[in-house]
Amino acid sequence: MGTTIATSRLVTLEEAGPDDEDEFLAAVISSRGLHHPWVDPPDGPERYALLLERNRRPEHFTFLVRERDGGVLAGTVNVTNIVRGAFQSAFCGYWAYAGSQGRGLMTDGLRSVVDHAFAELGLHRLEANIQPANVASIALAERCGFGFEGFSPRYLMVDGDWRDHNRYAITSDRPAP
Protein backbone atom coordinates (compact mmCIF):
# COMPACT_ATOMS: atom_id res chain seq x y z
CA MET A 1 0.00 0.00 0.00
CA GLY A 2 1.10 3.53 -0.76
CA THR A 3 1.55 6.59 1.42
CA THR A 4 -1.64 7.53 3.29
CA ILE A 5 -2.76 11.05 2.41
CA ALA A 6 -6.01 11.34 4.36
CA THR A 7 -8.46 9.33 6.41
CA SER A 8 -12.16 10.13 6.52
CA ARG A 9 -15.24 8.52 8.02
CA LEU A 10 -15.45 5.82 5.33
CA VAL A 11 -12.15 5.75 3.43
CA THR A 12 -8.42 6.20 3.43
CA LEU A 13 -6.76 8.01 0.58
CA GLU A 14 -3.33 6.85 -0.62
CA GLU A 15 -0.93 7.72 -3.39
CA ALA A 16 -0.69 4.86 -5.88
CA GLY A 17 2.61 3.02 -5.76
CA PRO A 18 4.40 -0.04 -7.18
CA ASP A 19 3.09 -2.32 -4.42
CA ASP A 20 -0.51 -1.57 -5.48
CA GLU A 21 -0.11 -2.89 -9.02
CA ASP A 22 -1.60 -6.38 -8.66
CA GLU A 23 -4.62 -5.21 -6.67
CA PHE A 24 -5.18 -2.22 -8.96
CA LEU A 25 -5.06 -4.31 -12.13
CA ALA A 26 -7.34 -7.00 -10.68
CA ALA A 27 -9.87 -4.33 -9.67
CA VAL A 28 -9.77 -2.71 -13.13
CA ILE A 29 -10.20 -6.04 -14.92
CA SER A 30 -13.11 -7.10 -12.70
CA SER A 31 -14.78 -3.70 -13.24
CA ARG A 32 -14.65 -3.47 -17.05
CA GLY A 33 -18.43 -3.64 -17.32
CA LEU A 34 -18.75 -0.73 -14.90
CA HIS A 35 -16.11 1.40 -16.67
CA HIS A 36 -17.04 0.88 -20.33
CA PRO A 37 -17.58 3.21 -22.23
CA TRP A 38 -16.82 5.94 -19.69
CA VAL A 39 -13.14 5.43 -18.84
CA ASP A 40 -10.22 3.29 -19.94
CA PRO A 41 -7.99 2.85 -16.86
CA PRO A 42 -4.65 1.02 -17.02
CA ASP A 43 -5.38 -2.70 -17.32
CA GLY A 44 -1.92 -4.21 -17.71
CA PRO A 45 1.58 -3.92 -16.19
CA GLU A 46 2.88 -1.66 -18.97
CA ARG A 47 0.06 0.84 -18.62
CA TYR A 48 0.30 0.78 -14.83
CA ALA A 49 4.04 1.49 -15.10
CA LEU A 50 3.25 4.47 -17.36
CA LEU A 51 0.77 5.73 -14.76
CA LEU A 52 3.44 5.60 -12.05
CA GLU A 53 5.98 7.22 -14.38
CA ARG A 54 3.56 10.07 -15.07
CA ASN A 55 3.00 10.48 -11.32
CA ARG A 56 6.70 11.19 -10.80
CA ARG A 57 6.05 14.59 -12.36
CA PRO A 58 4.72 17.34 -10.07
CA GLU A 59 1.61 17.94 -12.19
CA HIS A 60 0.09 14.44 -11.85
CA PHE A 61 -1.28 12.50 -8.89
CA THR A 62 -3.16 9.21 -8.65
CA PHE A 63 -4.99 8.55 -5.40
CA LEU A 64 -6.39 5.20 -4.36
CA VAL A 65 -9.63 5.25 -2.38
CA ARG A 66 -9.74 2.37 0.10
CA GLU A 67 -12.44 1.30 2.50
CA ARG A 68 -11.32 2.49 5.91
CA ASP A 69 -12.32 -0.81 7.48
CA GLY A 70 -10.43 -3.57 5.71
CA GLY A 71 -8.48 -1.54 3.14
CA VAL A 72 -10.34 -2.90 0.10
CA LEU A 73 -9.71 -0.83 -3.03
CA ALA A 74 -12.93 1.10 -3.79
CA GLY A 75 -11.84 3.51 -6.52
CA THR A 76 -9.24 5.79 -8.05
CA VAL A 77 -9.11 9.58 -8.40
CA ASN A 78 -6.59 11.33 -10.64
CA VAL A 79 -5.56 14.98 -10.37
CA THR A 80 -3.71 15.73 -13.60
CA ASN A 81 -2.30 18.44 -15.82
CA ILE A 82 -1.80 20.85 -12.93
CA VAL A 83 -1.12 24.37 -14.16
CA ARG A 84 0.53 26.66 -11.62
CA GLY A 85 0.98 30.42 -11.63
CA ALA A 86 -2.15 32.53 -11.82
CA PHE A 87 -4.29 29.53 -12.85
CA GLN A 88 -3.66 26.96 -10.04
CA SER A 89 -5.96 24.49 -11.76
CA ALA A 90 -6.09 20.81 -12.68
CA PHE A 91 -8.30 18.14 -14.20
CA CYS A 92 -9.91 15.52 -12.02
CA GLY A 93 -10.97 12.06 -13.20
CA TYR A 94 -12.28 9.14 -11.19
CA TRP A 95 -13.77 5.67 -11.28
CA ALA A 96 -15.18 3.20 -8.77
CA TYR A 97 -14.52 -0.52 -8.66
CA ALA A 98 -17.17 -3.22 -8.86
CA GLY A 99 -18.66 -3.98 -5.47
CA SER A 100 -17.91 -0.58 -3.99
CA GLN A 101 -20.51 1.54 -5.76
CA GLY A 102 -23.59 2.88 -4.00
CA ARG A 103 -22.05 2.89 -0.50
CA GLY A 104 -20.76 6.46 -0.28
CA LEU A 105 -17.12 5.42 -0.60
CA MET A 106 -16.38 7.40 -3.75
CA THR A 107 -18.27 10.42 -2.41
CA ASP A 108 -16.07 10.37 0.68
CA GLY A 109 -12.99 9.67 -1.45
CA LEU A 110 -13.59 12.42 -4.00
CA ARG A 111 -14.34 14.94 -1.24
CA SER A 112 -11.05 13.95 0.41
CA VAL A 113 -9.16 14.46 -2.86
CA VAL A 114 -10.80 17.86 -3.38
CA ASP A 115 -9.84 18.92 0.16
CA HIS A 116 -6.26 17.66 -0.37
CA ALA A 117 -5.98 19.41 -3.74
CA PHE A 118 -6.99 22.74 -2.24
CA ALA A 119 -5.28 22.53 1.17
CA GLU A 120 -2.10 20.61 0.36
CA LEU A 121 -1.51 21.03 -3.37
CA GLY A 122 -2.50 24.71 -3.29
CA LEU A 123 -4.94 24.48 -6.18
CA HIS A 124 -7.81 26.91 -6.71
CA ARG A 125 -9.84 24.92 -9.25
CA LEU A 126 -10.55 21.32 -10.27
CA GLU A 127 -12.39 20.46 -13.48
CA ALA A 128 -14.11 17.14 -14.24
CA ASN A 129 -15.23 16.32 -17.78
CA ILE A 130 -18.02 13.76 -17.89
CA GLN A 131 -19.94 12.18 -20.76
CA PRO A 132 -23.56 13.42 -20.60
CA ALA A 133 -25.04 9.91 -20.32
CA ASN A 134 -22.81 8.96 -17.37
CA VAL A 135 -25.43 9.86 -14.77
CA ALA A 136 -23.64 8.12 -11.88
CA SER A 137 -20.47 10.13 -12.45
CA ILE A 138 -22.42 13.37 -12.81
CA ALA A 139 -24.30 12.67 -9.59
CA LEU A 140 -21.01 12.02 -7.77
CA ALA A 141 -19.49 15.28 -9.01
CA GLU A 142 -22.58 17.23 -7.97
CA ARG A 143 -22.67 15.57 -4.51
CA CYS A 144 -19.09 16.72 -4.03
CA GLY A 145 -19.83 20.34 -4.95
CA PHE A 146 -18.83 20.44 -8.62
CA GLY A 147 -21.05 22.73 -10.67
CA PHE A 148 -22.02 22.44 -14.34
CA GLU A 149 -20.10 24.91 -16.53
CA GLY A 150 -20.84 23.87 -20.07
CA PHE A 151 -20.92 21.38 -22.90
CA SER A 152 -17.89 20.41 -25.00
CA PRO A 153 -18.70 18.55 -28.24
CA ARG A 154 -16.26 15.83 -29.32
CA TYR A 155 -14.04 16.76 -26.36
CA LEU A 156 -12.12 13.59 -25.49
CA MET A 157 -11.29 10.38 -27.31
CA VAL A 158 -12.68 7.48 -25.29
CA ASP A 159 -12.89 3.91 -26.54
CA GLY A 160 -11.78 4.97 -30.02
CA ASP A 161 -14.36 7.75 -30.53
CA TRP A 162 -14.39 11.49 -29.91
CA ARG A 163 -17.07 11.88 -27.25
CA ASP A 164 -19.07 14.83 -26.04
CA HIS A 165 -18.51 15.86 -22.42
CA ASN A 166 -20.08 18.14 -19.87
CA ARG A 167 -17.68 20.33 -17.90
CA TYR A 168 -18.03 20.47 -14.13
CA ALA A 169 -15.76 22.42 -11.81
CA ILE A 170 -15.23 23.30 -8.19
CA THR A 171 -13.09 26.07 -6.71
CA SER A 172 -11.36 26.42 -3.37
CA ASP A 173 -13.77 29.18 -2.30
CA ARG A 174 -16.86 27.00 -2.87
CA PRO A 175 -19.39 26.46 -0.12
CA ALA A 176 -19.04 23.04 1.52
CA PRO A 177 -21.51 20.43 0.15
Specify if 19 maps to a domain: yes
Specify if 27 maps to a domain: yes
Specify if 176 maps to a domain: no
- Spatial separation of the C-alpha atoms in residues 78 and 38, rounded to whole Å: 15
Specify if 177 maps to a domain: no
pTM of the model: 0.94
Domains: count for the chain: 1
Q: Which residues are CB-contacts of 21 (< 8 A; sequence separation ≥ 6)?
A: 45, 48
- Spatial separation of the C-alpha atoms in residues 34 and 27, rounded to whole Å: 11
Specify if 38 maps to a domain: yes
Domain that holds residue 111: 4-171
Q: What is the pLDDT of residues 62-113, one digit of tens each?
A: 999 999 998 999 999 999 999 999 999 999 999 999 999 889 999 999 999 9
CATH number at residue 136: 3.40.630.30
Run of H or E including 152: strand 147-158
